[in-house]
């Protein structure tokens, strides 16, 4: 089973959410531990990252043999997630 590593921006975003949404994202992260490439995951063009939707949120991540690194979590419909990703990398 993979270990989850939350980057600072992702952890900060999760802590800013209400408890219900925090649980929803935590459940999605736990399911990523079981299956790091779920059916609804898509590879991002131009990056070595994947995205998965979790309710109204989008999780940007990648993985190696032991660790799933979660870089950005954000609203699904506003495109800000991709702007943050582009600025960061």
| Strand locations in the chain (E) | 3-6, 42-43, 50-54, 57-63, 67-75
Query: What does the pLDDT look like over 7-65, one tens digit per residue?
Result: 998 999 999 999 999 999 999 999 999 998 999 999 999 889 999 999 899 999 999 98
* Domains by residue range for the chain, with CATH: 3-88 (3.30.2310.20)
Query: What does the pLDDT look like over 53-74, one tens digit per residue?
Result: 998 999 999 999 899 999 999 8
**Which residues, including other chains, have CB under 8 Å from residue 39's CB and lie 6 or more apart?**
none
pLDDT for residue 89: 62
pLDDT at 88 over 80: no
Contact assessment for residue 72 and residue 8, using Cβ atoms and an 8 Å cutoff: no
């Amino acid at each position: 089973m993979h270990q989850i590593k939350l980057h600072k921006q992702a952890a900060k975003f999760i802590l800013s959410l209400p408890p219900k949404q925090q649980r929803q994202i935590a459940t999605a992260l736990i399911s990523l531990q079981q299956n790091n490439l779920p059916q609804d995951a898509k590879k991002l063009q131009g990056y070595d990252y994947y995205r998965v939707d979790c309710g109204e949120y989008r999780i940007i991540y990648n993985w190696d043999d032991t660790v799933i690194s979660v870089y950005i979590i954000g609203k699904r419909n506003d495109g800000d997630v991709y702007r943050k990703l582009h600025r960061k990398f």
